[in-house]
């Protein structure tokens, strides 16, 4: 994506700030620097190439030029939003990407807490980051990385989970600017209701593996259960083998379909 395409993508949208970078280290770091000015609305930074992007657990995420969509949003949270609901922010990004891709004819699922899958393969990752002043939530940053072209998909041998791209899953190229605009429109539409039931239901309806057995590694401890859905705070509701239910928070969690029940 080039600067002119970015300008067309954000034209007319109610954004407080929108900037494009041909190359950036981390777009999350860029918008984090904007937070001190306390902008009144949603801000977005996008880069054609990102050299120091990161995913969950500090994993490195490199965005080669011309192959992926790397963007970060600085979000003003609605007054009804409680800091205990911070887990919903990753769902906002994943749902926005899911619905944006759906508008172009590509069906996807959301792998809790922060991935978007097409055909069981990852094509998007979401990274929410919060800035705190003691116990006071100051700002929320939402990073989104989407594999647009096949060239964005890393070598399979280096992956812990299968990956794909929009181009491969859709069967045709899709302009990054068109997808960016669709994602931003969805974020802007859902942000005011982030604390509400309608948002949670929309996210839950698109969960991958819902009703299936899954394996979860939480803080190094493996466990198996049936994925029931989402808790009000954005955590995962899991039915254990002994019949008990528990909520799993994002943190350091790995989620996979159970080996003996996976269809992919």
Range of the domain at 228: 213-257
Predicted local confidence at residue 239, as pLDDT: 94
Average pLDDT over residues 126-147: 87
Position 35 pLDDT exceeds 70: yes
pLDDT at 107: 98
Domain boundary among 173, 189, 205: 205
pLDDT computed for residue 264 by the predictor: 41
Q: What is the CATH number of the domain that holds 92?
A: 3.30.930.10
Give me the CATH number covering residue 243.
Answer: 2.30.30.100
Give a yes or no: residue 87 inside a domain: yes
Same domain, 118 and 221: no
Residues 8 and 114 in one domain: yes
- Residue 40 inside a domain? The answer is yes
Q: Which of 92-106, 140-154, 238-252 is predicted least confidently?
A: 238-252
Best mean pLDDT range from 34-38, 115-119, 256-260: 115-119
Identify whether residues 77 and 162 lie together within a single domain.
Answer: yes
pLDDT tens across 212-231, in order?
999 888 777 788 899 999 99
Tokens of 20: 């494009």
CA gap 80, 107 in Å, rounded: 31
Q: Confidence band (pLDDT; 50, 70, 90) for 9? A: very high
Lowest mean pLDDT among 34-38, 53-57, 173-177: 53-57
Closest CA to 89 of 187, 22, 159: 187
Same domain, 238 and 161: no
Which pLDDT band, with edges at 50, 70 and 90, does 74 fall under? Answer: very high
Same domain, 218 and 152: no
> How many structural domains are present in the chain?
2
CA-to-CA distance for 165 and 151, rounded, in angstroms? 8
Q: Rounded to 5 degrees, what are φ and ψ at 89?
A: -65, -40
| 127-166 burial: b if 16+ Cβ within 10 Å, else e | bbbeeeeeeebebbbbbbbbbbbeebbeeeeeeeeebbbb
**Is the pLDDT score of 56 beyond 80?**
no
Within-domain flag for 238:
yes
- The top-scoring range by mean pLDDT among 41-45, 130-134, 238-242 is 41-45
Residues 176 and 253 in one domain: no
pLDDT tens profile 165-222: 999 999 999 999 999 999 999 999 999 999 999 999 999 999 999 999 998 887 777 8
Question: Could you tell me what percent of the chain has a pLDDT over 90?
Answer: 65
pLDDT digits (tens, 9 = 90+) for 86-113: 889 999 999 999 999 999 999 999 999 8
pLDDT surpassing 50 at residue 263: no
Q: Are residues 154 and 240 in the same domain?
A: no
Residue 73: in which H helix or E strand, if any?
Answer: strand 68-75
Check whether residue 218 and residue 200 sit in a common domain.
no
Q: Are residues 167 and 249 in the same domain?
A: no
Q: What are the φ and ψ backbone dihedral angles of 166, each rounded to 5 degrees? A: -60, -45
pLDDT at 251: 54
What letter would DSSP give residue 251?
S
Asked whether residue 264 is assigned to any structural domain, the reply reads: no
Structure confidence at residue 62 (pLDDT): 67
43-54 vs 115-118, strand pairing mode: unpaired
Nearest residue to 168 via CA among 117, 202, 128, 132: 117
Instruction: Give the model's pLDDT for residue 260.
Output: 63
| Domain presence at residue 263 | no
What b/e readout covers 168-202, taking b as 16+ CB neighbours within 10 angstroms? Answer: bbbeeebebbebbbbbbebbbebbebbbeeebbee
Last residue of a domain, one of 161, 178, 205: 205
The torsion angle over the Cα atoms of residues 11, 142, 248 and 62, rounded to 10 degrees, is: 110
Same domain, 147 and 59: yes
What is the Cα–Cα distance from 9 to 6, expressed in whole angstroms? 5
């Amino acid at each position: 994506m080039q600067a002119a395409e970015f300008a067309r993508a954000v034209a007319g949208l109610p954004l407080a700030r929108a900037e494009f970078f041909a190359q950036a280290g981390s777009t999350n770091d860029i918008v984090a620097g904007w937070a001190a000015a306390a902008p009144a609305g949603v801000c977005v930074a996008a880069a054609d190439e990102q050299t120091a992007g990161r995913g969950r657990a500090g994993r490195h995420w490199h965005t080669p030029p011309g192959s992926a969509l790397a963007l970060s949003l600085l979000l003003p949270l609605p007054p009804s939003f409680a800091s205990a609901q911070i887990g919903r922010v990753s769902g906002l990004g994943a749902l926005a990407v899911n619905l944006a891709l759906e508008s172009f004819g590509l069906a996807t699922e959301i792998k809790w807490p922060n991935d978007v899958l097409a055909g069981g393969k990852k094509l998007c990752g979401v990274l929410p980051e919060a800035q705190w002043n003691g116990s006071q939530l100051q700002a929320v940053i939402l990073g989104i990385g989407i594999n647009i072209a096949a060239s964005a998909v890393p070598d399979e041998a280096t992956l812990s989970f299968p990956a794909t791209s929009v181009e491969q899953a859709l069967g045709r190229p899709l302009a990054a600017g068109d997808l960016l605009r669709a994602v931003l429109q969805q974020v802007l539409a859902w942000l005011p209701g982030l604390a509400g039931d309608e948002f949670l239901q929309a996210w839950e309806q698109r969960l991958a593996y819902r009703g299936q057995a899954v394996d979860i590694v939480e803080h190094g401890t493996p466990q198996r259960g049936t994925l029931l859905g989402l808790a009000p705070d954005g955590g995962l509701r899991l039915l254990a083998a002994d019949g008990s239910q528990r909520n799993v928070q994002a943190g350091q969690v790995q989620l996979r379909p159970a080996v003996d029940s996976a269809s992919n």
